[in-house]
Structure 1
């Protein structure tokens, strides 16, 4: 039996390998651990093998379903966790002593929010904190929650249609949904459109499971109508293209299409009677406590999103043009 106290390691050379060991132990799979670590399976396997050679013992049992900790692995795992926690605390303390905020922050959000926000966040941080690196991932709300839970993302932004919000989420802003169509579209010619009109237009909606789709169908049942989309898609780029080039109608926040509104490529009417309102919420990855870079980016998001939502949306609708003339 190999005792944990008998294992001798060069801590400087092994800290990264120990983190890899901990992630593999938590994931129970080299493949999932490689995704978590943004590595490839072969390179991760080599590092684990090198760590086992350093330890002089096998740390994992390989099975057809993945890997599990060996007896020696089980003995050192709590100590490795404590060492990594101390190393993380030391790193954070050192960073707090420095004037420059550094670090990599992974944002995950739905495409309609990304279209509005990412460029603004990047511009602000490029000028004020160039050592903060931003990585952006897009996905539906289910993916956003999943990537936050497994530690692949530091900050997530979601649309929520029901209150109260899930535990750990913070409301940032509320936005109204709009019916969007091509220039000259009669359904979106006015500033507002009655919700019941959605039953009589060529509508493209996201497919289940999707928060907006559930909310629209719930409101439709209450209103006594049936929404029968001619197409289903969650791709923001495709939704815009279908509205611009094929005469179809989609339901979006106007801030997701501000460039197209300004260029006169789309027009939009706010849905009323009832309105379709969502809350944009922020949540944080659960794998670790937010560092200074994450806190900095989250502050920027809070400020910029509030500004965006309260800005009058850019537009080029017929009813706006007539009001100006």
Structure 2
């Protein structure tokens, strides 16, 4: 099938939402699909629900594995994927009926990938805010990669699930998800993928319904009294992204370094004083990145003074 889409869905303890998620995939107006459900060691019956759907629809494949995290689950899905395109979906979210059709209509060739807009919903599925209209149909990769890190003009571009990827680009370049990194792994993968393309296409239609849950990974970090171990892996993601950016241009490298610095500042603002080892590591990396930012030729003296002041205040 010329436009076969492999839909990769990691599943872990999402029994209240999984049926709605799978149904929204199966009833797409574009139905040339390979749906890969990866049961990542669920203990609430989610895996059994996946098996029930597979018995009813031949397009579904189910992988059962011990709990290894979302990155390992996505990698397992990539190994099984055979479609021309790949889409990643979180198992507690859902999609409008025309999502895949809309993304495909915006795709223009092998050297591009497509991003759609997101509708946020609450735990009960009620609509909340919507990501802004892009206002344009395409941008070049240099502009996209900078915006991916700076987040100034567009809504957050680091989501994985609102994008249509070309599988050949992933396979031929050996792209996988780093299982060690538990936060910011999406943006790392998108950066790795995007530098292999020439342009990014925008689909100005809602193609994803993103459920905001209080018990999600992000919700868990907000409720914690200190920085979680999984949040510390965000630093490793930035260190890898800095190497990638450095191979592309000095400008992009300094943008990535500044973004890492800002995120480390945020972590230092939340880490408990009793969490000595994390505080020490964050402080060390903060000053390392402060020194790197100071080398940015675009920064004036006042910019450098602000960096030093912010770093001192967070010690």
Q: Same fold (TM over 0.5)?
A: no
TM-score (norm 1): 0.23
Q: Could you say which structure has the higher helix fraction? A: 1
TM-score (norm 2): 0.23
- Look at both structures and tell me which one has the larger radius of gyration over its CA atoms: 1
